Amino acid sequence: METQANIQSQFLAALEMLRRVVVQCPDTIWDDRTYRNVFWRVVYHALFYTHLYLCPDGKDFVKWEKHKDEYHRLEPGGEAYSKAEILEYCELIRQQIPGLVAAAELDAPSGFSWLPFNRLETHFYNIRHLQQHIGELSERLGVAAHIDVEWVGTS
């Protein structure tokens, strides 16, 4: 059970970092279309896949009620989600983490045919993916607006 507590702590810390990235993002950067992947779209992509891979498998995944088809893909276009909507989605996932991580059978298969490893490694993969995009967005804030996003080590 200690392993699940550690996994939960790191998911929550990463989500807190993503929350801070969203809160600190100036409106001028949020939907800046000079980037192929606009800021809000990268955030939504990271949240969508975090949410998906927390589930035991794709059949158990329930899309967020405000999900828009294809918005989880890193592609240009689309009407921007507001920061409030994104923060709402982030909070929904934060609330689900304790139950989903605690219930995970860490030695069981990932639950996704394209992820050829067990649930433990799926959690590692998921956190790495989330953190990759947090780093990308933090760097964008630093370069474009001289904003530093504070590191969160544990929840």
Query: Structural domains in the chain?
Result: 2-145 (1.20.120)
Helix (H) or strand (E) holding 122: helix 119-145
pLDDT in tens, 69-101: 999 988 888 999 999 999 999 999 999 999 999
Q: For residue 41, what are its two tokens?
A: 């779209």
Average pLDDT, consecutive stretches of 10 residues, N- to C-terminus, the chain (155 residues) = 92 98 98 95 98 95 95 89 98 98 96 97 98 98 95 88
Are 8 and 102 a contacting pair, CB within 8 Å? yes
Rounded to two decimals, what is the model's pTM?
0.96
